[in-house]
Chains A and B, each alone.
Chain A
Amino acid sequence: MTTQSWLRRIAAVFRKSKVEADLTAEIEAHLALATDEYLRQGMSPEEAGLAARRSFGAAETVKDTLRDRRSVLVVDSVLRDIRLAVRVLSRSRSYAALASLMLALGIAAVTTVSAFVHEILIRPPPFRNPQDLALIWTSIPGQNLEQDGSAYLTIQDWKQ
Chain B
Amino acid sequence: MGNTKAEVPYGALDLLILRTVNTMGRMHGFGIARRIEQVSQNALQLNQGSIYPALLRLEQNGWLKTEWGVSENGRQAKFYSITRAGRKRLKDEVENWERMTALVAGFLRATS
Contacts and interface: CB of A to CB of B under 8 A. Distances in A.
9 contacts: A8-B60, A25-B78, A27-B52, A29-B29, A30-B77, A55-B47, A62-B53, A65-B52, A66-B56
Contact of A62 (B52, B60, B77, B78): B52
Given A8-B60, A30-B30, A36 B73 contact: yes
B77 A57 contact: no
Interface in B11-39: 28-31, 33-34
Given A9-B60, A25-B76, A57-B47, A66 B29 contact: no
Interface centre among A29, A32, A33 (most CB of B within 10 A): A33
Given A27-B52, A34-B30, A69 B75 contact: no
Given A57-B48, A58-B49, A5 B60 contact: yes
B28 A33 contact: yes
Interface in A1-28: 1-2, 4-5, 8-9, 22, 25-27
B91 interface: no
The SS class assigned to the A binding surface is: helix
Contacts, number: 74
Interface string B89-109: 000000000000000000000
Contacts of B56: 66, 69-70
Contact of B29 (A22, A26, A55, A58): A26
B62 A4 contact: yes
A56 interface: yes
Contact of A66 (B33, B53, B61, B76): B53
A146 interface: no
Interface centre among A2, A5, A55, A59 (most CB of B within 10 A): A55
B52 A29 contact: no
Contact of A29 (B30, B53, B60): B30
Interface in B56-78: 56-57, 60-62, 71, 73, 75-78
Given A8-B60, A25-B76, A30 B53 contact: no
A76 interface: no
A153 B50 CA distance: 94
Contacts of A5: 60-62
A53 to B, nearest CB: 10
Contacts of B33: 30
